Amino acid sequence: MKTLSMNQLPSRKKNRLENINYTENGVYFITICSKDKKCIFSKVYPAANDALAPEIKLSSIGRILNNAVNDIENHYENVSLVNYVIMPNHIHLLISIEDVGGRIISAPTVVGSLKRIVSRRAGFSIWQKGFYDHVVRDIDDLQIKRDYIEGNPAQWLLKKDEYCGK
């Protein structure tokens, strides 16, 4: 077996953008996945008719996650929950951070806290390392992210076998 020296190891992609201050006023689209993409948060069921959105039924861990997400605004005075969806193996969040003259909290801090709280309440570590984020640039970008969140359950039903980990 070939071993690599430290200077031969592949460089890891940085999780955060270098030129972004994640405490600045703005809206952040965040995706956090379960460890090994295991489907532990919810199940998505087709709607009774085509005019309705698919139904999401939360598992016990999904309910823990839902409670923690809805409690974000109680912990951080400068963070507002804009929208979210809890999928079987991930969550999409839109949060707004606004400087209100108090202690400034960053988007990564909110995510880290959420992950710790949910894992502690669940009794085991449930998250993959890191998370995906996107800084919302304007009102059109915000609408695209809202539409993505709203449409994610329907997309799940189309491709669910591709999304679940083993």
Neighbouring C-beta atoms of residue 61, cutoff 10 Å:
21
Express each pLDDT in 32-64 by its tens digit: 999 999 999 999 999 887 778 899 999 999 999
Q: What is the overall mean pLDDT for the chain? A: 85
> From CA 83, how far away is CA 94, in angstroms rounded?
5
DSSP 106-151: -HHHHHHHHHHHHHHHHTS--B-SS-EEEE--SHHHHHHHHHHHHH
Give the full edge-to-edge strand order of the sheet including 90-97: 79-86, 90-97, 26-33, 132-135
Tokens of 56: 């999401």
Predicted TM-score (pTM) above 0.75: yes
Confirm whether 1 is domain-assigned. no
Confirm whether 28 is domain-assigned. yes
Express each pLDDT in 91-136 by its tens digit: 999 999 987 776 778 899 999 999 999 999 999 999 999 999 999 9
Confirm whether 3 is domain-assigned. no
Structural domain boundaries enclosing 35: 21-161
Q: CATH no. for residue 35?
A: 3.30.70.1290
Confirm whether 5 is domain-assigned. no
Confirm whether 15 is domain-assigned. no
* Nearest CA-CA partner of 34 in 116, 89, 111: 89
Q: How confident is the model at residue 23 (pLDDT cuts 50, 70, 90)?
A: low
* Cα 153 versus chain centre, distance: 14
* Number of structural domains found in the chain: 1
pLDDT at 59: 98
Whether the per-residue pLDDT at 153 is higher than 90: the answer is: yes
pLDDT at 77: 86
* pLDDT, greater one: 160 or 66: 66
